[in-house]
Amino acid sequence: MSRKIIVGAAQLGPIARSDSRRVVVGRLIELMREAKARGCDLVVYPELALTTFFPRWYFEAQDEVDTWFERELPGPDTQALFDEALRLSIGFYLGYAELTEQGGRVRHFNTSVLVGKRGELIGKYRKIHLPGHTENEAWRPFQHLEKRYFERGDLGFPAFQAKFNEHQGIFGMALCNDRRWPETYRVLGLQGVEMALIGYNTPLHYAQVPEHDHLQAFHNHLSLQAGAYQNGMWVVGVAKAGIEEGCDLLGQSCIVAPTGEIVSMCSTVEDELITESCNLDRCREIKENVFNFELHREPDTYRLIVETKGAIKPL
């Protein structure tokens, strides 16, 4: 069998603090048009793709923070992206900062959405593994205040059945730091996800452990490749890259096969599109063999691991 979907990973170069949403959306549309011209059914953008990575600054006034958030999607500045997707008949994944009201209070999330080729919302994900810190730490060369500006996601790791061409597949989403945690892929994998879409903004400098700076690219690919292989799924990891407002961001956006092999990778730190024809049926090579959960894991053993919170005790 062959259920092929052509996917475009649309890496973004730096976004200036002064760049308007309209300017950024224009760049997204150009990448979308290129993706369509190259036969793509789905295009994947990075985390917080509509703005610069604003958590690198400390803001005291909440009103100032809220200017970076979208109160509706599509909104006045993003409607053009949805309209173009409908015109081109192409789906997309988009990371953005979400401001919403729930239960009479305003909430803030680091969010991604999966949009169908008719412009319809297929699914939403809110980032669970928030990195960084909550207070201004002057010793850092730049801040990483995701814990201050966002709440932990409350939607779990859902799986979505979707069709971006004649073939139906099962898709999942995650954001940035989520990709480092094996639970992300395993929860998606246990739901049968065949392709995980993951946007990220990753600085090359890790302030807490700078001796690991040279490992940032290695750890990025290690996480994406291990998650793909151990769960038998395609993984599309898409970066914001380059020197953005003085912060050097990792690029190397890539598409990883269910075997864990990188089959396509960006070669610049600018706006760049890579594409791959991904056969979703290749997931079976892993799911039905080396990582066949039902065949190779006794149900009682798995229950024991869960009930003891991972501390496996002697029987």
The pLDDT assigned to 300 comes to: 61
* Distance from C-alpha of 87 to C-alpha of 33, rounded to nearest angstrom: 10
Residues in the chain: 315
> Which residues are CB-neighbours of 85 under 8 A, at least 6 positions away?
32, 91, 92, 115, 117, 119
- Contacts by residues 293-299 (CB-CB < 8 Å, ≥ 24 positions apart): 293/190
Q: Which of 53, 145, 57, 63 is nearest to 99 (CA)?
A: 63
Positions of the chain with pLDDT under 70: 1, 298-315
Amino acid at 51: T
What residue ranges in the chain does DSSP mark as E strands?
4-11, 42-44, 91-102, 105-115, 121-126, 159-163, 168-175, 195-200, 234-239, 242-244, 247-249, 254-256, 262-265, 272-279
The pLDDT assigned to 130 comes to: 98
**Helices and strands per DSSP (H, E), number in the chain:** 9, 14
The pLDDT assigned to 311 comes to: 43
* Distance from C-alpha of 292 to C-alpha of 217, rounded to nearest angstrom: 30
CB 10 within 8 A of CB 45: yes
What the chain holds in terms of domains, given with CATH numbers, is: 4-307 (3.60.110.10)
47-84: per-residue pLDDT in tens?
A: 999 999 999 999 999 999 999 999 999 999 999 999 99
CB-neighbour burial class of residue 124 (10 A; exposed 0-12, middle 13-18, buried 19+) = middle
Check the CA dihedral 47-175-120-31 and report its sign: positive
The pLDDT assigned to 4 comes to: 98
Q: Which of 177, 174, 142 is nearest to 54 (CA)?
A: 142
- Catalytic residues, by residue number, are 47, 127, 176
The pLDDT assigned to 294 comes to: 82
The pLDDT assigned to 208 comes to: 86
Task: Supply the pTM of this predicted model.
Answer: 0.93
